[in-house]
Chain A
C-alpha cells in the first residue's frame, strides 16, 4: 500500500465518488481531451502514445495500475520526473474518464 498525502486521499475520495457520473464529460469535451492527449501529452509520450522522453501509455503498462491511481497521476503529475500536473486543464471527472480510456488501450 502506497502512502498517500491527505490531499491525495481526499481527491481520491472525490474521484471515486465522481467515477459514476462519467456522463458529465460531454462528447465535445471528450474530443478536446483526445486532441490534448494526442498532441500535448504526445509531445513527451509520442503522438501514438508509444513513448518518447516519457514512457509509452499503452494498456499493458497499466495492468498493475488502478484507474484512480492513473487519474491522480494525470492530475497531480509525478514528482521527480518531467510529468507535470494537468489539474489546471482537466476536472476530476475528465481525468478519470481519460484514465479509463488509457487503461482500455486508447490509440488516438
Chain B
C-alpha cells in the first residue's frame, strides 16, 4: 500500500515536472508582450529575439500593463477586467491571480517591492496588495462624484505610479485631484489629497528621480505638476498656453504619459488634440519648442541615452512611427510599420526598439542607430511590451 502510494506520488511528480519546465537563467534580457485579444502573454528573450513561453488565461487584456518584482522574475499584469495576475517568467506560468475590481487601468509596485497598487475605473479608487501572495492590504475608495446619468460613483483613478518613500501617486479623473498615498505603515495608509489640479486628468507620469508627478489634462490646456519634495507648492499648472486659440482636433486615442522622454534638461510630451510633440524645459517647465509630427502622438519615448525620441500615433495614423533628433528637434525618419503600431519598448541600453504592430500580428525590432528593421516576431494582436529592466526604475 505504502509502496503504491510512493510510486504514484513519484509518477505524478514526474508527469507534472513542476521544476523541470522552468528555465535556469538570468531574466535581465527577458520581457513580456501582451497579446491583447487572446488574453495571453508571450515571454521573450531579447538577446535571441524569440518567444520562450506563451502564458494564457489572463482575461481581458485591452490596455493591459505590467510591472516587475525587483528580482526580475515575476511580472504583475493589470488587466482591463480588474484582473491582477502574477506570472513567473522563468516558468511561463501564472502563480497567482485575483480579480480585484470591476474594471482597472494599471498599477505600480512599491519602492521596496512588497506592495502592488492597482487603480480602478470601476468602482474607482486604489487597492493595494501584498506582492508575495496578492492578499489585500488596503482598499482606498476614490472621491464620489455624480456622473452624467445622475448616478453617484467613485471617481476613476488613472496615472498610478510609485514614488520614493514607499508612496504611490494617483490622479482622479472625474474629481480633478492628485493623491499621494504613503504606505510606510501598510496598516494605516496616509493620504495627501491635492484638489483642483485641473479638469479631467487622463494619465500621469513621475520623473525618473521620483520628484515631479505630472498629470495630463483632457478637459483643459496644460498639465498639472506636483513637486513631491515641496508639496506645499503643489499643484502647479504648467504649459497652460499650449494649444490656446487653436482648434483642438478630435482625439481618437488618449495619449500616454508612461515614462518620461528626457534629453538633457528637456522633456518631450504628446500634445493632446494636436499633431505636435511639445518640448519643455525641466525645472521652470517653460515650453521651448513644438515639433510638427505626422499625427496625434500617443507614446513619446526617449531612447535611454536621450539622443532620439520615438513617437507613435493615434488612429487613423497608427501605421506610422517618427523619430526625432533631440539636438536638432527635426524628424529624421518616418517608418511605416503596418496598421496598429500600439507600443514601443527600448532594450535596456537602447540599441534596439521593439514595436507592437497589432494588425500585422507581429512585433518588429529596429536597430535604433540605423533605424532599420532587424527582426520580426509573430505575436497575436500585440500591444504592451514590458522588459525586465523596468524592475529597477521608479515610475515604471
- A interface residues with partner B (beta carbon < 8 Å): 38-40, 42-44, 46-48, 50-53, 77, 81-82, 84-85, 88-89
Contact = CB atoms under 8 A, between A and B. Distances in A.
Contact of B218 (A48, A77, A82, A85): A82
Interface residues of B, number: 28
A85 B252 CA distance: 9
B80 A39 contact: no
A50 B81 contact: yes
Interface of B: 36-37, 60-63, 80-81, 103, 105, 121-122, 148, 156, 158, 173, 200, 202, 218, 250-254, 315-316, 340, 358
A43 B252 CA distance: 9
Given A47-B62, A50-B81, A82 B122 contact: no
Nearest to B82: A50
Contacts of A84: 250-252
A77 to B, nearest CB: 6
B60 A53 contact: no
6 contacts: A39-B340, A43-B62, A47-B37, A47-B80, A52-B80, A52-B105
A102 B243 CA distance: 35
Contacts of B218: 82
A57 to B, nearest CB: 13
Nearest to B61: A47
Contacts of B358: 39
List the 5 shortest-distance A-B pairs measured between CB atoms, nearest first: A47-B62, A84-B250, A40-B315, A43-B253, A48-B60
B60 A50 contact: yes
Contacts of A44: 253-254
A43 B340 contact: no
A52 to B, nearest CB: 6
A42 B158 CA distance: 17
A42 B251 contact: no
B250 A40 contact: no
A39 B314 CA distance: 12
Contacts of A48: 60, 62, 80-81
B103 A46 contact: yes
